[in-house]
Structure 1
Amino acid sequence: MRSSIRRRIRSTRTPVALATGLLLVLSACAGSAAGNDKGKAADEVAKIGLLTPATGPYAAVGEDTRAGLELYRDTHGGKLGGLKADIVVRDEGAGPPTAVPAATELVKQQNVLAITGIVSGGSVAGVLPIAAANNTALMGVAGRPEFPDPKLTAHVWSFNTQSYEAGAAAGPWVKDHVNGPVYAIGPDYQGGWDQLKGFTDSFTKAGGTLANPDGKTTFTPFPGTQNFLPYLNKIAQSGAKAVYTFYAGTAAVDFVKQYRASEAAKLPLYGSGPLTEGRQLDAQSDAAAGITTFATYGADLDNPANRAFVAAWQQRHPDRSPTIYAVAAWDIARSLDSAIGAVRAQKKPLTPEAVNTALGSVGQIDSPRGVMQLNPATHSPVQQWYRFEVRNDGPKRANVAVEQLAVLGG
């Protein structure tokens, strides 16, 4: 079954995927175009700031982000754009109170060429004005809210998704496959609001109805909610025919395990990719079986770039599968490789502003998720979305791609 699904996914790729072979050749040269410079350039260092959670509910996301960034650098001679790459790591913490002073130090004292990572939408909102004032690129690995100010958008680059897109991809499919109302639930913070709005907007536009009281999404306090049973009991009594959710990190583990132990367990559970990613899936164990998620990446995607990436990843991290956060960090490093190389090839001063400008010309990226490109207006990926199911894959469970959905981000 799995091999036939893979063949179907490969055979139905969008036309942009036909460029993959050419991209493989071009990308091998992109970061090294300026690598033959001699003299003073040999002493230069490409200093990149990595601002990501080291503690708290999203610590695992931070660890995967750092691992993806370092994996690209270390498998490319320790360099980005032909220069030795120094990754300066700071703790994002749980949001702006920690992220803002850390970002200020990275920009003002460390003089980094770009800031990568950033998981919390609140952190993005707090850090972005600092980055923009210094013409420094802010390159995120998680979903982000929309920013209407073009002066800010010019400096924010999202290598995951815009936060509403997972729900937007899921809504029409859920409407077509669930005969009745759906209960929507998620965490009460910016990322949860955006994720669930994407679902409720697309689901109701397709003709679906919500089983929630007053037809409004139920939001659980974040990060304080660890006992979901009161909410799950209400879901079981709501008349819902299915549930759609977004949780990530430790909250995803708590929610899924308690879901399977509750009266709501009889209902199909749908969610965005982080619900069952990486170590969350391992911790959820049997409770995750059969869950359907909507995402842009799974470690089993069958394309040359992903096979190479997963092989390199497993050499370093045999205990866990890569996540979209690791892939986004890998793609960030690849894009910085290209952008820094382009600035140096043009003999321009290597400044944050020059790197930010060069990112706009990176073009298509042969990512492990498939060929994608950053939208020049929104600076977020135009990419293929998939439906995944948690299934047995040998001795372990995995998120298995079973269907292509829409291409979003245009």
Structure 2
Amino acid sequence: MRIHKMTAALIALGLVATGATACADESGGANGTLKIGLLASLSGTYQAIGTDIRDGFQLYLSMHGGELGGHPVELVVADEGDGAPTAVPAATKLVKQDKVIALTGVVGGGSAAAIQPVLAQAKVPFIGSNGRPELKDITHVWHTSYLSQETGAAIAQYVKDNVKGKVFAIGPDYQGGWDQLQGFTDAFAKAGGQLANADGKTLFTPFPATKNFTPYFAQIKAAGAEAVYTFYAGAAAIDFVKQYSQSEVKDLPLYAAGFLTEGGVLNAQGDAARNVFSVLNYSPDLDNAQNREFVAAWKADHDGPPTTYAMASFDAAAVLDKAIGAAGENPTSESINNAIAGLGQIESPRGAWQFSKKTHSPVQKWYLRQVRPDGRALSNTVVGDLATVGE
């Protein structure tokens, strides 16, 4: 993997973990800095997503002189891998050995749930930047992205209004897939929609083992569906979309959580992704000042436009910037967490949002996108607003 100019600059500033660190002071930092932990999938199925999460946070730091809330920051990066078995020991090291004052990132919903006992015991605030399942204790848990069920819930009414018949629901068999599809199917049923699935339940495919989706497309055909709703991300999204476009159900409208065509997977899917409809809380073509600045800064160091993963991690840094600044001269994990609770509206590339006091996740607008030509390339183009979800 090549080192981006931004990453190289951050290494020079001491913001990227490179091994041993200097002695720590009372605030948990090295040489007077604050240590922030970033845990993301830098290997495995969701490596591309984890890389965007890391780069989004680092971009905010590079645009703010390596400081958050007026304090120099040392960013300690760890690999989440493919889920809880690797995420838990990595998070444990960040908290107990590296003594980070706050933790951000995390791709998988299962990972987010599994690391909570470690964080709760240490009372370290977690500012997650990807989806998460419902958790019992969110005292020290915040998310700048969404709750995993909200994505499908935001598009369910639109699908019901625009599909004259039954819809087939399919997704990966793990926590993220369960949450994403349940959000859609529950809201779809509430809107009066019917699933084409034989048993009225989502068809879940083995994760991460499924590479060949052809047998499942045959089931969709046999069910007499008029459209398909799905959630896949990363490598599985590439396989699903390419095979869908060559299958016997290729003419059925395909609706999806936006991760199906987000970021580099769209480039890999190519023309197979044309016309796919998706729902997401962000698109790089949103017209606001914060987004224009964010997109320009991202493109200066990356080949393609920013993703929702990068945006949510950028916003996680913005949240910490505001909270640390409000936490006094000697911020602690607890004072930062208390400050996050008192934050108001966050100006963001996605549009302004704020934390729900009930869920500690964003109250935000969701957008309907369609894969359309943009010059010689394909892009996710916003074609309408959907629901505001989160409260």
Fold in common (TM above 0.5): yes
Residue 117 of structure 1 pairs with residue 105 of structure 2: yes
Amino acid of the structure 1 residue aligned with 2:272: A
| Match in the other structure for 1:325 | 309
Q: What CA distance in whole angstroms lies between the structure 1 residues aligned with 2:31 and 2:108?
A: 35
Amino acid of the structure 2 residue aligned with 1:188: D
Deviations along 1:71-90, one digit per CA (max 9) or x if unpaired, are 00011011111111111011
Specify which structure has the higher proportion of helix: 1
| Match in the other structure for 2:13 | none
Residue 358 of structure 1 pairs with residue 358 of structure 2: no
Residue 388 of structure 1 pairs with residue 369 of structure 2: yes
- Of all paired residues, the percent bearing the same amino acid is 55
SS of the residue aligned with 1:401? strand
Amino acid of the structure 1 residue aligned with 2:327: V
Moved over 4 A (4+): 40-43
Q: 1:43 deviation in Å?
A: 4.8
SS of the residue aligned with 1:316? coil
Amino acid of the structure 1 residue aligned with 2:291: N
Deviations along 1:331-362, one digit per CA (max 9) or x if unpaired, are 00011111111113xx4x42111111111122
| Match in the other structure for 2:321 | 337
Residue 276 of structure 1 pairs with residue 257 of structure 2: no
Q: May I ask how many residue pairs the two structures share in their alignment? A: 364
Is the contact between residue 113 and residue 132 of structure 2 (CA under 8 Å) also seen in structure 1? no
Is the contact between residue 154 and residue 387 of structure 2 (CA under 8 Å) also seen in structure 1? yes
Q: Which structure is higher in RCO with an 8 Å CA cutoff and minimum separation 6?
A: 1
| Match in the other structure for 1:32 | none
Q: What CA distance in whole angstroms lies between the structure 2 residues aligned with 1:377 and 1:356?
A: 15
Alignment map for 1:46-195 (pairs within 5 Å): 46-147=34-135, 149=136, 152-195=137-180
Amino acid of the structure 1 residue aligned with 2:159: V
SS of the residue aligned with 1:124? helix
SS of the residue aligned with 2:326? helix
SS of the residue aligned with 2:300? helix
* Structure 1 alignment gaps of length 5 or more: 1-39
TM-score normalised by L of structure 1? 0.87
Q: What CA distance in whole angstroms lies between the structure 1 residues aligned with 2:377 and 2:350?
A: 21
Q: 1:122 deviation in Å?
A: 1.1
Q: What CA distance in whole angstroms lies between the structure 2 residues aligned with 1:312 and 1:362?
A: 25
SS of the residue aligned with 1:57? coil
SS of the residue aligned with 2:250? helix
Amino acid of the structure 1 residue aligned with 2:173: D
SS of the residue aligned with 1:367? coil
Q: What CA distance in whole angstroms lies between the structure 2 residues aligned with 1:195 and 1:162?
A: 9
Amino acid of the structure 2 residue aligned with 1:335: V
Deviations along 1:304-336, one digit per CA (max 9) or x if unpaired, are 11000000000011x121111100100000111
Q: What CA distance in whole angstroms lies between the structure 1 residues aligned with 2:222 and 2:373?
A: 31
Q: What CA distance in whole angstroms lies between the structure 1 residues aligned with 2:117 and 2:342?
A: 23
Is the contact between residue 42 and residue 83 of structure 1 (CA under 8 Å) also seen in structure 2? no
